Structure 1
Amino acid sequence: MSGQSVLIVHPPEQREEAGKIVAEILAGRAEYCPVPVMTRGGVQIPVETRVALGKWSGQDVIFGITKDISEIKASEEKFSKAFHASPASMAISDIQTGVYYDINDTFLNTMGYSREEIIGKVLFAEYYRAREARRDAGNAESKADRTQLRRRCADQVRRNTQWVILH
Protein backbone atom coordinates (compact mmCIF):
# COMPACT_ATOMS: atom_id res chain seq x y z
CA MET A 1 0.00 0.00 0.00
CA SER A 2 3.06 2.22 0.02
CA GLY A 3 2.55 5.32 -2.08
CA GLN A 4 -1.24 4.96 -2.14
CA SER A 5 -3.81 7.21 -0.53
CA VAL A 6 -4.78 6.26 3.01
CA LEU A 7 -8.36 6.36 1.79
CA ILE A 8 -7.78 3.07 -0.07
CA VAL A 9 -8.70 1.19 3.13
CA HIS A 10 -12.26 2.54 2.99
CA PRO A 11 -15.03 1.11 0.79
CA PRO A 12 -14.82 2.76 -2.67
CA GLU A 13 -18.28 4.34 -2.37
CA GLN A 14 -17.31 6.00 0.96
CA ARG A 15 -13.76 7.21 0.21
CA GLU A 16 -14.84 10.73 -0.66
CA GLU A 17 -16.82 10.96 2.58
CA ALA A 18 -13.85 9.63 4.57
CA GLY A 19 -11.57 12.21 2.93
CA LYS A 20 -13.90 15.05 3.88
CA ILE A 21 -14.12 13.83 7.47
CA VAL A 22 -10.32 13.50 7.76
CA ALA A 23 -10.01 17.09 6.49
CA GLU A 24 -12.54 18.16 9.16
CA ILE A 25 -10.49 16.36 11.83
CA LEU A 26 -7.27 18.05 10.71
CA ALA A 27 -9.06 21.42 10.74
CA GLY A 28 -10.24 20.77 14.31
CA ARG A 29 -13.94 20.54 13.40
CA ALA A 30 -14.36 16.78 14.00
CA GLU A 31 -12.88 14.27 16.44
CA TYR A 32 -12.97 11.01 14.52
CA CYS A 33 -14.00 9.33 11.28
CA PRO A 34 -16.76 6.71 11.57
CA VAL A 35 -16.42 5.42 7.98
CA PRO A 36 -15.72 1.65 8.04
CA VAL A 37 -12.54 0.12 6.67
CA MET A 38 -12.53 -2.79 4.26
CA THR A 39 -10.38 -5.91 4.34
CA ARG A 40 -8.61 -7.22 1.25
CA GLY A 41 -11.47 -9.72 0.97
CA GLY A 42 -14.09 -6.93 0.91
CA VAL A 43 -15.39 -7.37 4.47
CA GLN A 44 -16.30 -4.05 6.08
CA ILE A 45 -15.24 -3.45 9.68
CA PRO A 46 -16.95 -0.73 11.74
CA VAL A 47 -14.23 1.54 13.12
CA GLU A 48 -13.47 4.82 14.75
CA THR A 49 -10.41 6.46 13.17
CA ARG A 50 -8.55 9.38 14.69
CA VAL A 51 -5.82 11.26 12.85
CA ALA A 52 -3.15 13.79 13.71
CA LEU A 53 -0.38 15.61 11.90
CA GLY A 54 3.16 14.74 12.89
CA LYS A 55 6.69 13.98 11.75
CA TRP A 56 8.25 10.61 10.95
CA SER A 57 11.96 10.44 10.12
CA GLY A 58 11.91 14.17 9.46
CA GLN A 59 8.97 13.96 7.06
CA ASP A 60 5.53 15.52 7.59
CA VAL A 61 3.00 12.72 7.97
CA ILE A 62 -0.55 12.03 9.07
CA PHE A 63 -0.82 9.50 11.88
CA GLY A 64 -3.98 7.44 11.90
CA ILE A 65 -5.22 5.20 14.69
CA THR A 66 -8.18 3.00 13.88
CA LYS A 67 -10.17 1.18 16.55
CA ASP A 68 -12.36 -1.79 15.65
CA ILE A 69 -15.74 -1.10 17.25
CA SER A 70 -17.50 -4.27 16.03
CA GLU A 71 -18.15 -5.52 19.56
CA ILE A 72 -19.42 -2.13 20.71
CA LYS A 73 -21.79 -1.91 17.72
CA ALA A 74 -23.07 -5.45 18.36
CA SER A 75 -23.65 -4.61 22.02
CA GLU A 76 -25.49 -1.38 21.12
CA GLU A 77 -27.73 -3.29 18.69
CA LYS A 78 -28.57 -5.90 21.35
CA PHE A 79 -29.38 -3.21 23.88
CA SER A 80 -31.51 -1.29 21.38
CA LYS A 81 -33.51 -4.40 20.45
CA ALA A 82 -34.07 -5.33 24.10
CA PHE A 83 -34.97 -1.74 25.04
CA HIS A 84 -37.48 -1.28 22.23
CA ALA A 85 -39.02 -4.79 22.52
CA SER A 86 -39.40 -4.69 26.32
CA PRO A 87 -42.91 -5.05 27.74
CA ALA A 88 -41.85 -2.63 30.51
CA SER A 89 -42.12 1.13 30.03
CA MET A 90 -38.56 2.34 29.59
CA ALA A 91 -36.95 5.74 29.09
CA ILE A 92 -33.42 7.05 28.77
CA SER A 93 -32.87 10.52 30.15
CA ASP A 94 -30.03 12.75 31.28
CA ILE A 95 -29.59 12.37 35.03
CA GLN A 96 -28.48 16.01 35.40
CA THR A 97 -31.10 17.77 33.26
CA GLY A 98 -33.97 15.30 32.98
CA VAL A 99 -34.04 15.63 29.18
CA TYR A 100 -35.38 12.46 27.54
CA TYR A 101 -33.25 10.91 24.80
CA ASP A 102 -35.26 7.80 24.02
CA ILE A 103 -38.39 5.95 25.10
CA ASN A 104 -39.79 2.61 24.06
CA ASP A 105 -43.17 1.91 22.48
CA THR A 106 -44.51 0.42 25.72
CA PHE A 107 -43.87 3.79 27.40
CA LEU A 108 -45.73 5.57 24.60
CA ASN A 109 -48.65 3.13 24.59
CA THR A 110 -48.96 3.14 28.38
CA MET A 111 -48.68 6.87 28.86
CA GLY A 112 -50.47 8.03 25.71
CA TYR A 113 -47.76 10.43 24.59
CA SER A 114 -46.25 10.71 21.12
CA ARG A 115 -42.50 10.39 20.68
CA GLU A 116 -42.35 14.07 19.67
CA GLU A 117 -43.95 15.12 22.97
CA ILE A 118 -41.23 13.38 24.99
CA ILE A 119 -37.86 13.31 23.18
CA GLY A 120 -35.77 16.37 23.98
CA LYS A 121 -38.16 17.50 26.70
CA VAL A 122 -38.18 17.44 30.49
CA LEU A 123 -41.42 15.88 31.69
CA PHE A 124 -40.92 16.89 35.26
CA ALA A 125 -39.04 20.15 35.29
CA GLU A 126 -39.83 21.03 38.93
CA TYR A 127 -37.52 18.32 40.22
CA TYR A 128 -34.61 19.58 38.13
CA ARG A 129 -35.30 23.27 38.82
CA ALA A 130 -35.33 22.61 42.57
CA ARG A 131 -32.12 20.60 42.37
CA GLU A 132 -30.41 23.34 40.31
CA ALA A 133 -31.57 26.01 42.76
CA ARG A 134 -30.11 24.05 45.69
CA ARG A 135 -26.86 23.50 43.79
CA ASP A 136 -26.62 27.18 42.81
CA ALA A 137 -27.25 28.16 46.43
CA GLY A 138 -24.45 25.83 47.50
CA ASN A 139 -26.80 23.56 49.41
CA ALA A 140 -26.37 19.83 49.24
CA GLU A 141 -29.45 17.78 48.51
CA SER A 142 -30.35 15.86 51.66
CA LYS A 143 -32.21 12.57 51.81
CA ALA A 144 -35.13 14.37 53.48
CA ASP A 145 -35.19 16.94 50.64
CA ARG A 146 -35.26 14.16 48.03
CA THR A 147 -38.01 12.30 49.87
CA GLN A 148 -40.15 15.44 50.19
CA LEU A 149 -39.60 16.35 46.54
CA ARG A 150 -40.41 12.81 45.40
CA ARG A 151 -43.68 12.94 47.36
CA ARG A 152 -44.55 16.25 45.70
CA CYS A 153 -43.60 14.75 42.33
CA ALA A 154 -45.77 11.70 42.94
CA ASP A 155 -48.70 13.95 43.91
CA GLN A 156 -48.28 16.00 40.74
CA VAL A 157 -48.00 12.86 38.64
CA ARG A 158 -51.24 11.54 40.08
CA ARG A 159 -52.95 14.86 39.37
CA ASN A 160 -51.52 15.30 35.86
CA THR A 161 -51.09 11.62 34.91
CA GLN A 162 -47.52 12.35 33.85
CA TRP A 163 -44.84 9.69 33.89
CA VAL A 164 -41.78 10.54 35.94
CA ILE A 165 -38.55 8.66 36.28
CA LEU A 166 -36.53 9.92 39.22
CA HIS A 167 -32.81 9.30 39.20
Structure 2
Amino acid sequence: MRLTRIFQTGLANLIVGLGRQKSGNRSGRLHRSDAGFTLVEILVVVAIIGLLMGLVGPRVLGYLSDSKVKTARIQIQGFSAALDLYYLDNGRYPTSAEGLGALTQRPDGAASWNGPYLNDNSVPKDPWGRPYVYKFPGQQGAYDIVSLGPEGREGDSSVAAATVTGRQQ
Protein backbone atom coordinates (compact mmCIF):
# COMPACT_ATOMS: atom_id res chain seq x y z
CA MET A 1 0.00 0.00 0.00
CA ARG A 2 2.80 2.31 0.79
CA LEU A 3 4.39 1.60 -2.58
CA THR A 4 1.14 2.48 -4.34
CA ARG A 5 0.98 5.78 -2.46
CA ILE A 6 4.56 6.66 -3.40
CA PHE A 7 3.82 5.79 -7.02
CA GLN A 8 0.70 7.99 -7.03
CA THR A 9 2.54 10.87 -5.41
CA GLY A 10 5.41 10.53 -7.85
CA LEU A 11 3.05 10.45 -10.82
CA ALA A 12 1.24 13.55 -9.55
CA ASN A 13 4.55 15.35 -9.06
CA LEU A 14 5.62 14.36 -12.56
CA ILE A 15 2.42 15.80 -14.10
CA VAL A 16 2.71 19.00 -12.10
CA GLY A 17 6.37 19.24 -13.06
CA LEU A 18 5.59 18.86 -16.74
CA GLY A 19 3.00 21.62 -16.45
CA ARG A 20 5.58 23.89 -14.86
CA GLN A 21 8.16 23.17 -17.52
CA LYS A 22 5.64 23.91 -20.27
CA SER A 23 5.02 27.38 -18.90
CA GLY A 24 8.73 27.99 -18.61
CA ASN A 25 8.45 28.84 -14.93
CA ARG A 26 8.92 26.74 -11.79
CA SER A 27 6.00 28.29 -10.00
CA GLY A 28 3.59 27.47 -12.82
CA ARG A 29 2.57 31.13 -13.26
CA LEU A 30 3.00 33.16 -16.45
CA HIS A 31 5.25 36.19 -16.50
CA ARG A 32 4.04 39.38 -18.16
CA SER A 33 6.52 38.83 -20.96
CA ASP A 34 4.95 35.42 -21.65
CA ALA A 35 1.41 36.83 -21.87
CA GLY A 36 1.02 38.21 -25.42
CA PHE A 37 0.29 37.39 -29.02
CA THR A 38 2.27 34.95 -31.04
CA LEU A 39 3.68 35.81 -34.44
CA VAL A 40 1.12 33.54 -36.11
CA GLU A 41 -1.77 35.34 -34.41
CA ILE A 42 -0.44 38.72 -35.48
CA LEU A 43 0.06 37.52 -39.07
CA VAL A 44 -3.51 36.21 -39.19
CA VAL A 45 -4.88 39.58 -38.04
CA VAL A 46 -2.71 41.45 -40.56
CA ALA A 47 -3.90 39.11 -43.33
CA ILE A 48 -7.55 39.70 -42.40
CA ILE A 49 -7.04 43.47 -42.38
CA GLY A 50 -5.28 43.23 -45.75
CA LEU A 51 -8.19 41.27 -47.24
CA LEU A 52 -10.70 43.80 -45.92
CA MET A 53 -8.72 46.69 -47.38
CA GLY A 54 -8.43 44.86 -50.68
CA LEU A 55 -12.19 44.45 -50.86
CA VAL A 56 -13.36 47.75 -49.35
CA GLY A 57 -10.63 50.10 -50.65
CA PRO A 58 -11.57 50.05 -54.35
CA ARG A 59 -15.22 50.68 -53.53
CA VAL A 60 -14.38 53.69 -51.40
CA LEU A 61 -12.10 55.08 -54.12
CA GLY A 62 -14.84 54.46 -56.69
CA TYR A 63 -17.33 56.43 -54.60
CA LEU A 64 -14.81 59.26 -54.27
CA SER A 65 -14.27 59.36 -58.03
CA ASP A 66 -18.02 59.33 -58.71
CA SER A 67 -18.60 62.13 -56.22
CA LYS A 68 -16.00 64.33 -57.92
CA VAL A 69 -17.68 63.84 -61.30
CA LYS A 70 -21.07 64.67 -59.74
CA THR A 71 -19.60 67.78 -58.13
CA ALA A 72 -18.18 68.92 -61.47
CA ARG A 73 -21.53 68.32 -63.16
CA ILE A 74 -23.36 70.38 -60.52
CA GLN A 75 -20.84 73.25 -60.79
CA ILE A 76 -21.13 73.25 -64.59
CA GLN A 77 -24.93 73.37 -64.35
CA GLY A 78 -24.55 76.40 -62.07
CA PHE A 79 -22.31 78.04 -64.69
CA SER A 80 -24.90 77.23 -67.33
CA ALA A 81 -27.66 78.96 -65.34
CA ALA A 82 -25.40 81.99 -64.74
CA LEU A 83 -24.53 82.13 -68.46
CA ASP A 84 -28.23 82.11 -69.34
CA LEU A 85 -28.79 85.09 -67.00
CA TYR A 86 -25.81 86.83 -68.62
CA TYR A 87 -27.37 86.16 -72.03
CA LEU A 88 -30.71 87.61 -70.93
CA ASP A 89 -29.03 90.79 -69.69
CA ASN A 90 -26.54 91.31 -72.54
CA GLY A 91 -28.13 89.57 -75.53
CA ARG A 92 -25.04 87.38 -76.02
CA TYR A 93 -22.87 84.86 -74.23
CA PRO A 94 -19.33 85.80 -73.14
CA THR A 95 -16.66 85.20 -75.74
CA SER A 96 -13.99 82.55 -75.21
CA ALA A 97 -11.50 85.34 -74.48
CA GLU A 98 -13.78 86.77 -71.76
CA GLY A 99 -14.37 83.28 -70.40
CA LEU A 100 -16.26 82.43 -67.24
CA GLY A 101 -14.63 85.44 -65.57
CA ALA A 102 -17.29 87.55 -67.31
CA LEU A 103 -19.76 86.12 -64.80
CA THR A 104 -17.92 87.79 -61.90
CA GLN A 105 -16.44 90.98 -63.45
CA ARG A 106 -17.94 93.23 -66.09
CA PRO A 107 -16.23 92.72 -69.44
CA ASP A 108 -15.60 95.74 -71.69
CA GLY A 109 -18.30 94.90 -74.27
CA ALA A 110 -21.17 94.23 -71.80
CA ALA A 111 -23.22 97.41 -71.43
CA SER A 112 -26.16 95.79 -69.62
CA TRP A 113 -24.08 93.62 -67.28
CA ASN A 114 -26.07 93.03 -64.08
CA GLY A 115 -23.69 90.75 -62.20
CA PRO A 116 -21.94 89.18 -60.53
CA TYR A 117 -23.79 86.09 -61.68
CA LEU A 118 -21.96 83.67 -59.38
CA ASN A 119 -22.58 83.63 -55.62
CA ASP A 120 -18.98 83.70 -54.39
CA ASN A 121 -17.96 86.43 -56.86
CA SER A 122 -15.26 84.05 -58.15
CA VAL A 123 -15.10 81.19 -60.63
CA PRO A 124 -14.40 77.96 -58.71
CA LYS A 125 -11.98 75.35 -60.00
CA ASP A 126 -13.10 71.84 -60.81
CA PRO A 127 -12.84 69.13 -58.10
CA TRP A 128 -9.37 68.19 -59.38
CA GLY A 129 -8.06 71.76 -58.89
CA ARG A 130 -8.03 72.80 -62.56
CA PRO A 131 -9.94 75.65 -64.20
CA TYR A 132 -12.97 74.80 -66.32
CA VAL A 133 -12.63 75.23 -70.08
CA TYR A 134 -15.23 77.57 -71.61
CA LYS A 135 -15.65 77.70 -75.39
CA PHE A 136 -17.86 80.09 -77.31
CA PRO A 137 -19.13 79.19 -79.79
CA GLY A 138 -19.37 75.58 -78.72
CA GLN A 139 -19.17 72.48 -80.84
CA GLN A 140 -22.43 71.01 -79.55
CA GLY A 141 -24.39 74.15 -78.72
CA ALA A 142 -24.04 77.86 -78.07
CA TYR A 143 -21.17 77.21 -75.64
CA ASP A 144 -19.27 74.31 -74.11
CA ILE A 145 -18.05 74.04 -70.53
CA VAL A 146 -15.63 71.19 -69.93
CA SER A 147 -13.81 69.83 -66.90
CA LEU A 148 -10.40 68.39 -67.73
CA GLY A 149 -10.79 65.74 -65.04
CA PRO A 150 -8.12 63.86 -63.10
CA GLU A 151 -5.89 63.36 -66.15
CA GLY A 152 -5.85 67.08 -67.04
CA ARG A 153 -6.83 66.60 -70.65
CA GLU A 154 -9.96 66.99 -72.73
CA GLY A 155 -11.81 63.91 -73.81
CA ASP A 156 -11.16 61.99 -70.61
CA SER A 157 -13.86 59.31 -70.56
CA SER A 158 -14.07 59.35 -66.75
CA VAL A 159 -15.50 62.88 -66.81
CA ALA A 160 -17.50 62.76 -70.02
CA ALA A 161 -20.62 63.29 -67.93
CA ALA A 162 -19.12 66.53 -66.58
CA THR A 163 -19.27 68.24 -69.98
CA VAL A 164 -22.19 70.58 -70.59
CA THR A 165 -23.10 72.23 -73.82
CA GLY A 166 -25.15 75.40 -74.08
CA ARG A 167 -28.55 75.83 -75.60
CA GLN A 168 -28.91 75.92 -79.35
CA GLN A 169 -29.31 79.47 -80.65
Q: Report the TM range for the smaller structure's normalisation.
A: under 0.3
Query: Which structure carries more helix by proportion?
Result: 2
Query: Which structure carries more strand by proportion?
Result: 1
Instruction: Give the structure, 1 or 2, with the largest relative contact order (CA under 8 Å, sep 6 or more).
Output: 2
Larger radius of gyration between Structure 1 and Structure 2? 2
TM-score (norm 2): 0.20
